[in-house]
């Protein structure tokens, strides 16, 4: 949380700097549109596609980070349901009961791959 916002702010700043130099922004200024209209009516709608794509790309990283922290014992408290806790419990008994590891591993794989597919689809749709 302390450093995760930096990448998002860099991307949004770069997009705003790119979009504000476009001709339709100059045209809006020429006809007398105020700063509020230019920001909320022209710039923000044009950078939302990139921002949504970046959010969708960061979801798998957050899922993996939470699962990793719970797996090593630094995440959710014991007794709470988390992918890392489920993987850790399944990993402890993988030799006796390998079927306990499979559902949580498959669920984590599906979440990460599904989020990446949605992010790629949104990226292609907004380009």
Single pTM value for the model: 0.64
CA 103 to chain centre: 24
- Using an 8 Å Cβ cutoff, are 100 and 27 in contact? no
The mean per-residue pLDDT over the stretch 47-52 comes to 84
All structural domains of the chain with their residue ranges: 4-126
Q: Reduce the DSSP state of residue 74 to 3 states and report it.
A: coil
| CA–CA distance, 16 with 27 (Å, rounded to integer) | 16
In tens, the pLDDT along 88-120 reads 777 777 777 777 778 878 888 888 888 888 888
- Using an 8 Å Cβ cutoff, are 40 and 25 in contact? no
Q: Please give the structure tokens belonging to residue 96.
A: 């006796």
Per-residue pLDDT at 17? 92
Provide the pLDDT confidence category of residue 1 given band limits of 50, 70 and 90: low
């Amino acid at each position: 949380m302390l450093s995760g916002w930096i990448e998002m702010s860099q991307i949004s700043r770069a997009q705003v700097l790119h979009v504000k130099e476009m001709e339709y922004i100059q045209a809006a200024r020429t006809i007398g549109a105020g700063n509020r209209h230019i920001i909320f009516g022209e710039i923000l709608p044009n950078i939302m596609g990139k921002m949504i794509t970046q959010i969708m790309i960061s979801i798998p990283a957050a899922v993996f980070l939470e699962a990793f922290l719970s797996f090593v014992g630094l995440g959710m408290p014991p007794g709470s349901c988390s992918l890392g806790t489920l993987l850790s419990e399944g990993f402890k008994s993988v030799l006796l009961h390998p079927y306990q590891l499979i559902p949580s591993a498959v669920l984590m794989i599906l979440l990460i791959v599904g989020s990446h597919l949605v992010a790629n689809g949104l990226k292609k749709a907004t380009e």
